[in-house]
Chain A
């Protein structure tokens, strides 16, 4: 323990819901989970940061819009600037888009309804802090649960996202085939998650933290957390 265990911070905003679940996933996968508080300017020496799912500040404005201006987000942005691994899940993804740390935006699902179900994701790149243990083309099973998860970008942004290989996950069939019938929310180009240019900031709508414990669901999140912990490990003492 101690020096050999990477510390992964999970930010609790008012209205965060999956913060405890993200902490538990970190611990189940062998890391040390560290609670971070939205109003603090302190990342408590963590080697990676997770922005969890939920409805920060009630999401009564655009999802993630207020959280993007929380005190802790100044520290998260600086951490990301220094190359620190940052993973935004669901509401955390929305916050990263609102913060400008990731391109694009998330709007209401095509069905206009909240959707909770398990989906398949096709891995598009191994070049991120959460896909190092995965192979492009591989598929993983994880749950989604969101009302506003339809990924959207301007034509210019989209050209850059696709051109520079910034898509990390796409909704697909079990065998990696994309199509409307496998796209739960109408996301543009079936995009479920994206990264920044450096690959150290990743956001996705699905919930890998709910796909770690085989007793309660699928296990597609194990490789995501293993990758994140490996990246964080490399930064211990850095």
Chain B
């Protein structure tokens, strides 16, 4: 292979090669090309997204660590920090669902650990094609088994994450994963806090380095897949959760004992990324010796060692005086160590292999000075199809209601969640299947409320609104527990950014996310961009997924989502408008994707969030549930299913009954209130300028919509719980 072809094979553009030559002042070596190709890949460098990501709000009083580190961190009081981050592993999962999803979990957990935090929760937002197709059932089963197979073995509870189904995800499932950790705020391991010095050593510890995952970032994550992706299978890494568990414990012991000047996980672009980023953040260079890297197989070439994405490896920066102690800790956990590099003055990263210098370049040029593109944009048009809002209702309302309740996006995901260990660590106050998960903060009365949300159909109709709705819904899901939304992480899942239509969708989504995060005062502390989620001409819908973190000052004040008793007054907070565009009803009953998504008034959203927080703090609420997918009818049904108590409500107003029941207007919640608190709630709502309409009361064995229809709660439960097992060919 000639040099002229090699850079393209590695995924580098011609002008990127020119830039490398300019940086080095000479032609690059093969190894240098491999290193630049990995670090300047879309996955590592964010070259297409950077100009947009810079517009997101990233600062605020609670933000301790913003974007640019392995994970973001927020102040949760008591000297503690919550560390959190979301990533995607969609491309590997499309090819090899079990290992793809499993190694995604491993990677995000190491990101949290490398900040010095103990991982306390995982959430997995997943999107697949319709379950009627066999391949999608195979992907779902494999991804869920992989998440469980890895997560269940490392002692971190998996407590949530939504699961959605949409046709564009058939070829490209979206597999995102969010991890949350807790650390001492002054114990966070960042370049700024530890200030690594020249002369300090870089210790590689954990698993050995093999040929697995070579080209993961440049081949898999930064190009569209062919029809089956079969040819890319060798680029998928293999996970070993047992090694990960040892890595977590050893790493946290090193942090606790104060033995580290820096800590970085080896993920995308392997040792090249870990060494160059660590050196660059310290404003230093490094001398890396590949001959001391413990290898899994003999005869590995330098470029293979440099870009291998073998899992379960970490890089610690250590003063030479503390090396023995670091080694002793690793040995106690049965982990091999190797001093692979030394930090040096001058900023140059020098790589030696078999006695020769095979690469020498500014560390910064790899980690921070990659190309930045402003790719062309082309505004898209909304999908064809009339607005379902204005189509007259035909048929039976009760039947339509049960159809929406059974829709896979709405129905119970118990089949999935029961395959995850949600209780290990003993802090899971609310697990999966509620609006938000709630995790206790050990040693305090505080709770973290966590939710992941994406609004695929809304995004398909309007990417700006889709992203803004995702932020608003995530905030609402956190707020109905009584928590205050603090900050978000995200994973931005899109098609090929070289297509102007996709780039426009991305730009619009970031704009929507920015506006919502500014209005709701939830800064972005980091995240991930996943491009090239397309096959042939078929890209996924613009799917920004938001991971929201909220804080409950006292977890005893948390509000359940379901009707836990009879005799509660049921109120709807917020306004319902005629907005069926992009709704579950439109898809499940009409098979329509057209019209406009619901409007979003961020001031009203903010008012609702503040009201929910205030009402929970005053212990006025017996239950609170987001009124989202499926609309008011479904929200009420979910409250009845979760608590086992029926209700009787009257749906009043000018809207036709099907619009009132199924409209997905934003900024609404269904709450249950004891009679003695009704007056206080109504007055509090009025002070927050949020409409509060009394719908009826809880009680009895039926869900009764006055004058319309009624359904026994046991039938609701059968429809809701049985839908997905039935689609998978299993009995409920």
> Does A147 sit at the interface, judged by CB under 8 A?
yes
For B421, the chain A residues whose CB sits under 8 A away are 17, 114, 116, 145
Most buried by A among B240, B421, B422, B440: B421
> A147 to B240, alpha carbons, bound, how many Å?
17
> A82 to B427, alpha carbons, bound, how many Å?
36
For A238, the chain B residues whose CB sits under 8 A away are none
Known: A113-B145, A215-B555, A216-B429. A55 touches B418 (CB 8 A): no
Contact of A15 among B245, B427, B428, B429 (CB under 8 A): B245
Q: List 16 A-B contacts (CB under 8 A).
A: A17-B153, A17-B155, A55-B241, A58-B241, A58-B242, A113-B145, A113-B419, A114-B419, A115-B419, A116-B420, A147-B148, A210-B423, A210-B424, A215-B556, A216-B426, A216-B428
Which stretch (A18-26, A124-132, A157-165, A193-201) binds chain B? A18-26
Contact of A14 among B334, B420, B425, B429 (CB under 8 A): B334
- Report B280-307 residues with CB < 8 Å from chain A CB: none
> Does A57 sit at the interface, judged by CB under 8 A?
yes
For B577, the chain A residues whose CB sits under 8 A away are none
| Interface mask (B412-454 → A, CB under 8 Å = 1, otherwise 0) | 0000011111111111110000000000100000000000000
Is A145 a contact of B423 with CB atoms below 8 Å? yes
Contact of B333 among A14, A25, A59 (CB under 8 A): A14
Interface residue total, chain B, C-beta cutoff 8 A: 31
> Does B617 sit at the interface, judged by CB under 8 A?
no
Most buried by B among A17, A24, A54, A57: A17
Is B428 a contact of A55 with CB atoms below 8 Å? no
> A217 to B157, alpha carbons, bound, how many Å?
14
Q: Interface extent on A, as a size class?
A: 20 to 34
Is B152 a contact of A147 with CB atoms below 8 Å? yes
> Does B246 sit at the interface, judged by CB under 8 A?
yes
> Does A7 sit at the interface, judged by CB under 8 A?
no
Is A116 a contact of B418 with CB atoms below 8 Å? yes
- Report A38-82 residues with CB < 8 Å from chain B CB: 53-55, 57-60
15 extra A-B contacts, CB within 8 A, seeds A18-B424, A55-B152, A55-B245 = A15-B242, A21-B424, A21-B425, A24-B426, A58-B242, A113-B145, A114-B420, A114-B421, A116-B422, A147-B148, A216-B423, A216-B428, A216-B429, A216-B440, A217-B423
| Interface mask (B468-483 → A, CB under 8 Å = 1, otherwise 0) | 0000000000000000
> Does A117 sit at the interface, judged by CB under 8 A?
yes
For A122, the chain B residues whose CB sits under 8 A away are none
Quote the shortest CB–CB distance from A174 to chain B (angstroms): 13
For B420, the chain A residues whose CB sits under 8 A away are 114, 116
For B148, the chain A residues whose CB sits under 8 A away are 113-114, 147
> Does B549 sit at the interface, judged by CB under 8 A?
no
Quote the shortest CB–CB distance from B63 to chain A (angstroms): 29
> A115 to B145, alpha carbons, bound, how many Å?
11
> Does A133 sit at the interface, judged by CB under 8 A?
no
Is B424 a contact of A145 with CB atoms below 8 Å? yes
- Report B142-196 residues with CB < 8 Å from chain A CB: 145, 148-149, 152-155
Is B425 a contact of A114 with CB atoms below 8 Å? no
| Chain A: CB-nearest residue to B155 | A17
For B417, the chain A residues whose CB sits under 8 A away are 116
For B556, the chain A residues whose CB sits under 8 A away are 215
Is A215 a contact of B429 with CB atoms below 8 Å? yes
> Does A207 sit at the interface, judged by CB under 8 A?
yes
For B240, the chain A residues whose CB sits under 8 A away are 58
> A58 to B428, alpha carbons, bound, how many Å?
24
> A219 to B301, alpha carbons, bound, how many Å?
57
For B243, the chain A residues whose CB sits under 8 A away are 58
Quote the shortest CB–CB distance from B433 to chain A (angstroms): 11
Contact of B423 among A15, A24, A207 (CB under 8 A): A207
> A144 to B240, alpha carbons, bound, how many Å?
24
For A213, the chain B residues whose CB sits under 8 A away are 426
For B333, the chain A residues whose CB sits under 8 A away are 14
For B154, the chain A residues whose CB sits under 8 A away are 17
| Chain B: CB-nearest residue to A212 | B426
Is A58 a contact of B153 with CB atoms below 8 Å? yes
| Chain B: CB-nearest residue to A58 | B242
| Chain B: CB-nearest residue to A111 | B730
Closest 4 CB pairs of A and B: A58-B242, A17-B155, A21-B426, A55-B153
> Does A143 sit at the interface, judged by CB under 8 A?
yes
For A116, the chain B residues whose CB sits under 8 A away are 152, 417-423
